[in-house]
Amino acid sequence: MLEGIAYVDGGVLAPQGFLAAGVSAGLKRSGKRDVAVIAAQDRCPTAAVFTRNAMAAAPVLVSREHVADGHARAVVVNAGNANACTGERGRADAQAMAEAAAAALGCGPQDVLVASTGVIGVPLPVDLVIAGIKEAVERLDVIGGDAVAEAIMTTDTFPKQVAVRIEVDGRAYAVGGVAKGSGMIRPDMATMLAFITTDAPLDPRACDAALRQAVEVTFNRVTVDSDTSTNDTCVLMASGAAGGAAITPDDARFAPVAVAIEYVCGELARMIARDGEGATKLITVTVTGARDESDAKRAAFAIAESPLVKTAVFGGDANWGRVAMAIGKSGAALDPSRVRIVFAGVLTCENGTAVPFSEEEAARALSGPEVEIVADLGAGEASATVWTCDLTYEYVRINGEYRS
């Protein structure tokens, strides 16, 4: 926990000025909640980042347009169907979701963002979704965060939410967040949705700057299977309900609030990696000694996305040669004679060659729920960290049976 930041209860509803609800509209075969609404009490500064996948889903296309003016009133979400690769009908259905929420909330459709997650290429049962949106709006309250966390899940094994409070110039501000993501995870801004709220009075430019700074070093540093979803969406809404003058990017108050937003995004990002489909271990990959940050990221992702590294961790094998292979193929500049690899806290490679180590000690270190891999490229001073998970038999089963 960073100094000055404290955990609080409430998740996405910890900040003042927001209401939420999650309901079952019949999209999930299980009958569990599958439609959610997060609404600000008033139209407020909002920023969003989306997938860079060229096959972006209809809700992404609609939300990009609606958030362009830097404001929104609400976000509506459905799980169980991605509304992706659904053509003009999909676009119309996403717009209909926004219109239904707007009519129920008493705002304009352009003030509603839309997100969907689930199976690609299947027409959205829009009548069910619209009925769910209307019901969710009727149920909006200040304790609906848990219901939202459940409603946006697909193959997730646990809901993902967190909230913190920070004091800035004698005034307390809260930042809360909720996310979903387990497979098809490699955000480029995984299937990932994240919704962040704050009651700090960020103006639209500060909202956008804070979100982009946070996403770059959190959600953009997660990979489960290297696949970037068609639906990735991350939204930040700032109600300003905690009071105070508007915060701009140049304001001295911006930095501490931005740190709190980054902290929340980082916690959610690690939850997504920990909950990778079939995962048994969270893997933190840190590359140091890189020529620049770009090289550090390139090498870290090469390690984190290597099936051989991920299966070695699953099997409890400190096979550092697979890490060496991954950084070597990454294209990052390195000095082979200076490469150093620490696998699960055990030094396994120094100056590019093997170092004697206890296989038993390494196996014990690899048996826990979290594993860290550190590789020094010996080429500079830059570093980067990426989070991933192990690759298991269960991942194959989950994705082999996904539509069955």
Contact 84, 184 (CB under 8 A): no
Are 76 and 34 in a shared domain? yes
Domain boundary among 274, 293, 310: 274
**Of 184-198, 224-238, 278-292, 313-327, which range is least confident?**
184-198
Specify the CATH number for the domain of residue 362.
3.10.20.340
Domain boundary among 221, 256, 274: 274
CA distance 282 to 192: 17
Q: How many domains does the chain have?
A: 2
Task: Give tens-digit pLDDT for 367-393.
Answer: 999 999 999 999 999 999 999 999 898
Contacts of 236 (CB under 8 A, 6+ apart): 46, 47, 48, 196, 197, 198, 207, 210, 211, 261
pLDDT at 191 over 60: no
CA distances from 219 to 134, 293, 380 (A): 31, 16, 25
Are 22 and 79 in a shared domain? yes
For the question of residue 353 being annotated catalytic, the response is no
Average pLDDT in the chain: 93
Which pLDDT band holds residue 404 (cuts at 50, 70, 90)? very low
Structure tokens, 371: 């594993």
Are 230 and 304 in a shared domain? no
C-alpha 309: how far from chain center: 23
Are 116 and 262 in a shared domain? yes
This prediction has a pTM of 0.87
Sign of torsion over alpha carbons 70, 65, 188, 225: positive
Q: Which of 46, 154, 155, 191 is catalytic?
A: 191
pLDDT at 184 over 70: no
Are 317 and 220 in a shared domain? no
Domain extent, residue 190, equals: 5-274
Are 260 and 312 in a shared domain? no
Structure tokens, 144: 């609906």
Are 321 and 192 in a shared domain? no
Which pLDDT band holds residue 231 (cuts at 50, 70, 90)? confident
Domain boundary among 274, 294, 317: 274
Specify the CATH number for the domain of residue 111.
3.60.70.12
Are 396 and 335 in a shared domain? yes
